[in-house]
Chains A and B, each alone.
Chain A
């Protein structure tokens, strides 16, 4: 019964997305040109990959606001390796490893020092951002062709960017993983009732650290896509992106209190967010509206989903009586 309800909430979101896409089809001339769709999907792919990681963290009733800064650090790390000519095949694992290390650090701070996730990751945000300017002077530039290979040359069938393909693999793997693995059940259990989870024999701290580590690997993949978009990598490549990721997750119907939410919702949420900026430009509206529109969509969607959540709860209470 509850399952069905959750499905419909994603269906609503899907319908909303269709509506946006239909409106764009009618009024935004040229929006569906191959070039625009692909460049849009490229931005979508890096938002989605990291949002999936964020989704897992939020399900455990934690959060990570250091993601943007973390991605900036990883970008600089791979730029340093890219500068000496390492190929993409090595940059990707390096980025994932760096992401895992930094994100695990977050997880350890939260669990072993018992600091609330938002405070711990706020602190690490400062550390990540603070260390960067000391190591590099603002940016690493004039990067070689081997570095930009992913963005410039890696096209499947001469058309589809490899980054999009990577996103597809990650998404499918994680949808299956979150649906069928035992590990994912632990995440929902911890998010719903931490004490209950612990009493039922789940090693809560270990699971949370593992979750951060997995998310870190995904942040690493996102960092690679962002960093290799051009020949210069600045110390702020990821700045502010954490909010986009959190927004995609929330928009996708995941409750920030944890314990619920599906990857599929995030898939749609991220797509809506990725569509807005280019859509506004194509519709001939000033880009200053972009953030305001994004914010409005998020508020409306959260209000709607909380209202439904309350209703369901009330129903459950009533049937219990």
Chain B
């Protein structure tokens, strides 16, 4: 008898465990639904515009900051913003496609997406376009014929330059230069990511020029890390890299993180190291949001002194602005510029709108940001 009860209990528990997610799911899918009625929409008397934004993944400083900017623009324009994306571990094309299919069925007006895979997502984006939905890519591009506009945060050249400048400045302060070369290592992402690949290529070009040639990637096989998006793996590979750093020919003097996961991991692993390489002889920098690096930048014992990024909130803002204007017809794919609210006028070339240059922050400016 007792046993049977126990069985029933377990079955109920299992059922409950299965039900809870589906219930939670109902309430949480569309994170932000704003139905502000702005004077603008009333004036024009148009039906409500729905903008749907799909990041590579949710729940990380970077895209959360984009979301804040997007919400700001949506509030300003009085439109509805859907924001959803895969969780970090499931940052795959398939998950993005699932979400997109839902939005296409709901007939949103514009889709703003940062694709995990530029080519694999193209058929779905084309399907959206065929259904009369405008498609904007932001943060990372998709296949060119599958979107109406790409809102690019930064050109690959500017990103590469920003990163190398940050490293070069720090290295020069620490006594490296043409007379004393420095070995550098990169911590990239998964190796298939469009952004990182483009940045790395641009960095290689710059490293061949006179201004940067004192920095050397000695062995592409081992000095460029591809830990992927798994936090534990990023941490352990960064730990190995930190242990390879120090003075001398066969050591590495500077590490540059190319993803917003890698750079904080470098700072954290330096902090955890038992016998740390001399902070006056090595340098750490890379892409990350200011909040993620704050602790390390402010810590004088940590050689991570600068971080590189662009203004994420502005990126989200610009993406929503341009998406909205594509719907209203204020701009088309062929326009040469956009009047983007508080950001002013931004140029458009070849269906691409560039936000601006890299933003380098250090101990004096890091507190000015909150993302």
Do A and B make up one complex?
Answer: yes
Residues of A within 8 A of B (CB): 29-30, 33-36, 38-40, 42-43, 105, 108-109, 112-113, 123, 127, 129-139, 141-142, 145, 148, 151-152, 155, 159-161, 226, 229-241, 277-278, 281-282, 284-287
Give the residue of B7, B17, B89 whose beta carbon is less than 8 angstroms from that of A113. Answer: B7
Chain B interface secondary structure, helix, strand, loop or mixed? Answer: helix
B272 touches A142 (CB 8 A): no
B274 touches A134 (CB 8 A): no
- Known pairs A127-B17, A134-B28, A232-B231; A284 contacts B243 (CB<8 A): no
Docked CA distance A175–B236 (Å): 27
A39 touches B230 (CB 8 A): no
Give the residue of A36, A160, A231 whose beta carbon is less than 8 angstroms from that of B295. Answer: A231
B230 touches A230 (CB 8 A): no
Residue B239 interfacial (CB < 8 Å): yes
B6 touches A112 (CB 8 A): yes
A-B contact pairs, 23 of them (CB 8 A): A30-B244, A35-B275, A39-B273, A39-B274, A42-B239, A109-B14, A113-B11, A127-B21, A134-B24, A136-B59, A137-B31, A137-B58, A138-B88, A148-B271, A152-B271, A160-B274, A230-B265, A232-B264, A234-B231, A235-B88, A238-B232, A239-B89, A281-B240
Give the residues in chain B near A123, CB-CB below 8 Å. Answer: 14
- Known pairs A229-B268, A236-B88; A130 contacts B21 (CB<8 A): yes
CB distance from A209 to the nearest CB of B (A): 11
- Known pairs A226-B232, A287-B226; A235 contacts B87 (CB<8 A): yes
Give the residues in chain B near A230, CB-CB below 8 Å. Answer: 231, 235, 264-265, 268-269
Residue B20 interfacial (CB < 8 Å): yes
Q: Mark B265-300, 1 if CB is under 8 A from A, else 0.
A: 100110111111100000000000001100100000
A112 touches B7 (CB 8 A): yes
CB distance from A254 to the nearest CB of B (A): 24
Give the residues in chain B near A105, CB-CB below 8 Å. Answer: 13
Give the residues in chain A near B261, CB-CB below 8 Å. Answer: 232
For residues 7 through 26 of chain B, which have their beta carbon under 8 Å from a beta carbon of chain A?
A: 7, 10-11, 13-14, 17-18, 20-21, 24-25
Which 8 pairs show the lowest CB-CB distances between chains A and B?
A138-B59, A137-B59, A236-B89, A36-B243, A133-B87, A230-B268, A138-B88, A39-B239
Number of interface residues of B (CB under 8 A): 60
- Other than the given A39-B242, A151-B268, 20 more pairs (CB < 8 A) read A35-B274, A36-B243, A39-B243, A113-B11, A137-B87, A138-B60, A138-B88, A139-B88, A148-B268, A152-B268, A159-B275, A161-B272, A229-B272, A234-B88, A234-B89, A235-B89, A239-B89, A239-B230, A241-B232, A285-B221
Most buried by A among B31, B222, B274: B274
Docked CA distance A239–B233 (Å): 10
Give the residues in chain A near B6, CB-CB below 8 Å. Answer: 112
Tell me the number of A-to-B contacts counted with CB atoms below 8 Å: 170
Residue B61 interfacial (CB < 8 Å): yes
A39 touches B240 (CB 8 A): yes
Give the residues in chain B near A152, CB-CB below 8 Å. Answer: 268, 271-272
Docked CA distance A243–B250 (Å): 34
Docked CA distance A138–B219 (Å): 34
CB distance from A94 to the nearest CB of B (A): 20
In the complex, what residue of chain A is closest to B277 when comparing beta carbons? A35
A127 touches B18 (CB 8 A): yes
B14 touches A42 (CB 8 A): no
Give the residues in chain A near B222, CB-CB below 8 Å. Answer: 281, 284-287
Residue B126 interfacial (CB < 8 Å): no
Q: Mark B86-126, 1 if CB is under 8 A from A, else 0.
A: 01111000000000000000000000000000000000000
Give the residues in chain B near A232, CB-CB below 8 Å. Answer: 60, 231, 261, 264, 292
B59 touches A159 (CB 8 A): no
A139 touches B21 (CB 8 A): no
In the complex, what residue of chain A is closest to B63 when comparing beta carbons? A138
B226 touches A109 (CB 8 A): no
Q: Mark B22-50, 1 if CB is under 8 A from A, else 0.
A: 00110010010000000000000000000
Docked CA distance A145–B265 (Å): 15
Give the residues in chain A near B14, CB-CB below 8 Å. Answer: 109, 123
Docked CA distance A123–B14 (Å): 10
- Known pairs A277-B240, A278-B240; A155 contacts B251 (CB<8 A): no
Residue B214 interfacial (CB < 8 Å): no
Give the residue of A139, A160, A161, A285 whose beta carbon is less than 8 angstroms from that of B59. Answer: A139
Docked CA distance A43–B225 (Å): 18
Residue B324 interfacial (CB < 8 Å): no
Give the residues in chain A near B150, CB-CB below 8 Å. Answer: none
Residue B57 interfacial (CB < 8 Å): yes
Give the residues in chain A near B25, CB-CB below 8 Å. Answer: 134
In the complex, what residue of chain B is closest to A34 when comparing beta carbons? B275
